[in-house]
Amino acid sequence: MSAVVADTHVVVWALLKQEKLSPDALAALQGAIASGDRIWLSAISVVEIAYLVEKKRLPGSAFDRLMAELSRLDSGLAIAPLDLPIAQAVRRVPREKVPEMPDRIIAATALYLGLPLVTRDLAIQSADLSVIW
């Protein structure tokens, strides 16, 4: 298995509720780590998790757990920055199919990195990207 990009909900579930992940999603995440590759997380996902904790839609432990995992060298998680190439790749994600900007940024991150995106999001799945679920 190779590196993947994980959608926000996938990382939250991987950290807090692995039973919510599909077998293929869990295998992709575990396979990336087992092969020494990365699970890439868009920087916007970190912001989303902080926001969802503030709105009490996620427990405070979600952000703390993410920060702890990101600081562990063997976690396999890595942050993909929201930079100019990713901003340019956003234009390759059709707004008609993926209207939410954070979702477009996450999809653009996968496109730019040339990696499959692990997501349950049906809008993203309809956008002709390489998706694992």
Take residue 42 and report the two structure tokens written for it.
């868009």
To the question of domain 4-132 being in CATH 3.40.50.1010, the answer is: yes
Query: What mean pLDDT comes out for the span 56-64?
Result: 95
Torsion from C-alpha of 13, 17, 21, 27, nearest 10 degrees: 90
Report the share of the chain in percent with pLDDT over 70: 99
The pair of three-digit structure tokens given for residue 47, joined into one six-digit string? 């912001």
Integer Cα distance of 117 and 25 in angstroms: 10
Secondary structure of residue 85 in the 3-state scheme: helix
pLDDT of residue 73: 86
Is the pTM of the predicted complex or chain greater than 0.85? yes
pLDDT for the residue 78: 96
Instruction: State the pLDDT at residue 1.
Output: 59
Question: Per-residue confidence at 13, pLDDT binned at 50, 70, 90?
Answer: very high
**Which three-class secondary structure state does DSSP give residue 17?**
coil
Mean predicted confidence (pLDDT) in 89-114: 97
The mean pLDDT value of the chain amounts to: 96
